[in-house]
Chain A
C-alpha cells in the first residue's frame, strides 16, 4: 500500500500493461487472418465484404472488430484521388490567352496555374543548367525556334569545367578562406575527372533553384506566422504533419498536379523543405530578447528595417540551422525526385542501385554528398561574413576576386580552345568530361564488394539468417499479433498517463485514423521496423554520446561528424548496406540504425552539455566520483533533452524505413512506392503518407508532452 502511494505512476503503468496483455491473450487470432502480401488486396474475392460510401466501393476482409477494425476510411484515398482529378481537369474552366496558337482556349483554372508554375520553374532550372552545361532552351524562351534556327551561334555553349571549378574556389575563398577554397576546388576537380560533371551540374542547377526558393518562402511564411497569431494557427497543423511525412509520399500527388520532370521535383522539394524553415524562423524570432527589439525601435527603424536589419540578423543562428535543413532536404529530394523524372546524380544513383552496380552508385552518392557539404559550408560562411571598413585597400585588393575570376574565365576558354586541338577526334577533356568517360573507380568498388561477399559470405549469410529468423520474424509476428483494440487501449492509456485527457484524445484520434485505414497491418510492420531501428540507435547513440561527452575534444569532433553525416542525402545510406547485405530487411534496418543514430548521439551530447556548470561544481564539492556525477546529476538533468533526441530518432527511423521500400520491404513504404507508378495512386500515396506521419506524431505528442512536464518539474523549461 505504501509503495502504491509512493509511486502512483508506476502502478498506473503496470495496470495499463496488464490490461494490454490481457486483451492480447483474450482476443484470438481469427482463423481466416493472414498478412496480405503484394497487391493481393486488389483482387476481387467473394470472401470480401463490401460497403459503399460517397459512391465509392470499398472491399475488405472482415474480422471481429476487436481483432481488426473495418477500414471505414477506405473510401478516403479514392475520394482524394477523384477530387484531385476533378480539381485539375474540370473545376472552374476559364478562358486563357494562348501565345503559341494566338487564340483563347478554355482550361480549368488549377490546370492553368499548374502549367504556368511549371513553365516558370522549368525556365529557371534550364537557365542555370544552360549556363553550366550549354543549350538553347533559354534563348528560345525569349525568342522562338525560328530565331534560333536563323542564328544557331546564339546557343549557349556552357562553361568549361575549369571555369566553374575556379569560380567555386574563388567564391569559397571570398566567403571563408583558403580551407574552403581548397575543398571547393578539389570537389569540382573530382567531379569532373570522375566523369560526373554533367549529372552533377544538373543536380546543382536543380538545387540552386529549389534551395533559394525554399529559403525565401520559408522565411516569408515564418515572418508572417511570427507577426500574426492567426497565420501561425493555420500553419501549425500542416507543419506538424509535414515534419513527419515521408518524402516519398509527397511525390505522388505532385505527379498528378505538376507532371513529371525537374520542375515538379523543385515544387515538391519546396513543399518538403519549407516547413522546417518556417518552424526555425518562428523559433529564432521568438527567442529574440525584447530589449533588442526596443533598441531597434528606438533607433528609429521602420517595420521593414526592424525586420531585416534587427530581427532576422539577431535570429541568425536558428535561421542558419533552417538554411542547413533546407539544403539537406534539397539534396535528399534531389535523389528521391529521380522517381518522378528529375535528371542528375539522383537519377544515376537510382539506376545504379537498380542494376546493383554498387561502384557506380557509390561514385554518384559521393558526388552528391560532396556538393551537399560544400554548399552547406558556403552558406554558413556567407552568413558569418563581415565587412572591413578600415582597410585602406587599393583597387586591385578590393576587386581581386573579380579580377581573378575574369582571368580564370579567359584562361578556361583558352584551355578549352587549346583542348580542341589536343583531343582531336575524341572528347575535349578541357571543356567538359562526358559522363562515364572520366576515370571510374566503379570496377574497383564492385570487385571489392564481390571480394567481401566471397570472403565473408558465410558469416554475412549466417548473421543475416540469424537476425531475420530469430529476431526480426518473431518480432514482426508479435507486432502483428496485437489486436487492434489492445493497441488502441495501450496508446490511449499511455496518452492519458503522460498528458491527461487532451493527450489521450489526440493520440486516440491519430491511432484511429490509422486503424480505420485499409493498411493497419502495414502500419504495424512499419512500426516494428522503426522500433527495432530506434531501440538499437538509441543504445548506440546514448552510449557513444555519453562516452564522447567525457572529453571536450571528442564531443566537438562527434558533433562535427554528426553534422557531416546529416548532410548526406538519406538515400546514400542505402549504398554501403546494399554492398554488404544485399536486398534484405537487414540492409534496410542497418541503414535505419546508421541514419537514426545521428540525432540520438547529437542530442545526448547536447543534453549533457546543457547541464549548468554550477551543478557540476556543486556535485564535485559534495565529493561524487565521475560515475556518480553522470548517473545522479547529468543523466537526470539531460534526460528531457535526450528524449527530444529520441523523438528525432523516431522521425529519422520512420523516414529511412519508408525509403527502405526501395530495397523491398512489406510496410507502408512498399505501397507508397507502388502508388508512384499507379495512375490513380495520388490518393493512396497521400493517405499512406499521412498514416506514416501520424505514427510519428503519436510519439511526438507523447514525448513532447512528457518532456514539457519534466522540464517544468526540474525547473529547466
Chain B
C-alpha cells in the first residue's frame, strides 16, 4: 500500500452543550440514545480509517447518517469533539489558524452539493477566487482559471454569472474552482445529488476522466449506492454516525458485514459491480474451453459470451497467463443467487 494521506483515529463529533464532557465520561462508548436524552446529537461515532494517496474513498449513507459531518471534521470546517485526524502525518486538530489556512490554500479542494458559487462573480472569477485569496496576481490567476475552464469544458461561458448556468454547468464551475490551486486532497460533498439523472451520469463519467488524469486523493460523499459502486476504490457505509463497513465495492456486495449493509446490496445488479476475478475458481485450471476472458472484466460485459459456452471458461491475467476458471452456471448464480426472492 502506498503512503497514507488521510488518517482518522476514533473521531467523534457530538453536537450539544456538554458534548466534550459527556464524551470523556462515556470512555469512548457512545450510545446515541442516551446522548440524545441529555440534549446531545451524535454526528460521527468512533470513525477510524485511512485513505491512501491517489485512492478514492466514497462515504455512503442516508441523510442524517453523519457522512457530511465526517467530511467537515476532516476538512476542519467543524472541530471534531474527540479523536485524532492526520493529514499527511500532520495532526489537523493541532494546527493553528494560520497553518490551517495554509493547508487549505495549498492542499485541499472541496466541491459542494449546492455548488456554493459566489453569485457576484463570473465563472472565471469564481474559479480564480481561491488563487486570488492566496495572493496570486490577477493576470496569472485569470489565465490559470481559464485553463480550468477548458478542463471542465466550459469554454465560451467564462463571463457568465452562475445564475445564467444550468445545474450541471454550475457544478463544473464548482469542480474547476476546487481544482484551481492544484490540491492533493479533494473533498466532494454529494456533488452530483442536486443534478438530474442524465446529467448526473455524464458528470460521473467526466469525474472519472478527470480522476484518471489527476490522480488526487479523494473523499467523496454520496447517498446514492449506485454512484458509490461506480466511482469508489473503497466504500464506507455509515449509519447513525457509525461506519458500518469499509471495504471494496466487490467485498461489500459479496460479504455485507451487517444487516443494514445487506439491505443496500440486495438490489444491486452484481454483474455490474463484480469482476471475473471476484467469482472465478482459482484452483481449477484444467479442462478449459476455447474462450478466455480477462480477470479484470466486469461480469456484465462478458456474461453473454460465457453463458453460450458449455465447458469451463479460462480466466487470464494481463500477461495472458491462466489464473483460474469459471463455470457458466457460476454466472447465473452470481446474478440471480443470494437475493431475497431468488434461488
Contacts and interface: CB of A to CB of B under 8 A. Distances in A.
Interface of A: 289, 291-292, 294-295, 297-302, 305, 309-310, 313-314, 316, 386, 388-390
B77 A309 contact: no
Contact of B116 (A294, A302, A305): A294
A386 B122 contact: yes
B154 interface: no
B65 interface: no
A300 B116 contact: no
A47 B113 CA distance: 76
B120 interface: yes
Contacts of B108: 298
Given A295-B116, A316-B120, 8 more contacts: A291-B114, A294-B112, A294-B116, A299-B130, A300-B101, A309-B133, A313-B119, A389-B142
Contact of A291 (B102, B112, B120, B133): B112
Nearest to B109: A298
A305 B133 contact: yes
Nearest to A313: B120
A295 B134 contact: no
Contact of B77 (A298, A301, A302, A310): A298
Contact of B110 (A294, A309, A314): A294
A298 B110 contact: yes
B129 interface: yes
A297 B104 contact: yes
Nearest to B119: A314
B75 interface: yes
Given A309-B133, A313-B118, A386-B122, A302 B101 contact: yes
14 contacts: A291-B113, A292-B118, A294-B110, A295-B116, A295-B174, A295-B177, A298-B104, A299-B130, A301-B133, A314-B118, A314-B120, A316-B119, A389-B124, A390-B159
Contacts of B159: 388, 390
B18 interface: no
B138 interface: yes
Contacts of B109: 298
A295 B110 contact: yes
B144 interface: no
A452 B164 CA distance: 54
A187 B15 CA distance: 59
Contacts of A388: 159
A316 B161 CA distance: 15
Interface string B147-164: 000000000001100000
B20 interface: no
A381 to B, nearest CB: 14
A529 B117 CA distance: 50
B120 A294 contact: no
B311 interface: no
Contacts of A298: 75, 77, 104, 108-110, 178, 187
A301 B134 CA distance: 8
A299 B116 contact: no
B54 to A, nearest CB: 21
Closest 4 CB pairs of A and B: A300-B105, A295-B116, A299-B130, A291-B116
Interface in B86-119: 101-102, 104-106, 108-110, 112-119
B114 A299 contact: no
Contacts of B177: 295, 299
A390 B143 CA distance: 10
B178 to A, nearest CB: 8
B130 A300 contact: yes
A389 B132 CA distance: 14
A389 B138 contact: yes
Contacts of B133: 299-301, 305, 309
A309 B125 CA distance: 12
Nearest to B121: A313
B104 A300 contact: yes
A106 to B, nearest CB: 47
A299 B104 contact: yes
A299 B187 CA distance: 12
Contacts of A302: 101
Nearest to A300: B105
Contacts of A305: 133
Nearest to A317: B119
A299 B108 CA distance: 8
Contacts of B116: 289, 291-292, 294-295
Contacts of B117: 292, 295
A297 B116 CA distance: 12
A615 B181 CA distance: 45
Nearest to A383: B120
Contacts of A294: 72, 77, 110, 112, 116
Contacts of A300: 101-102, 104-106, 130, 133-134, 181
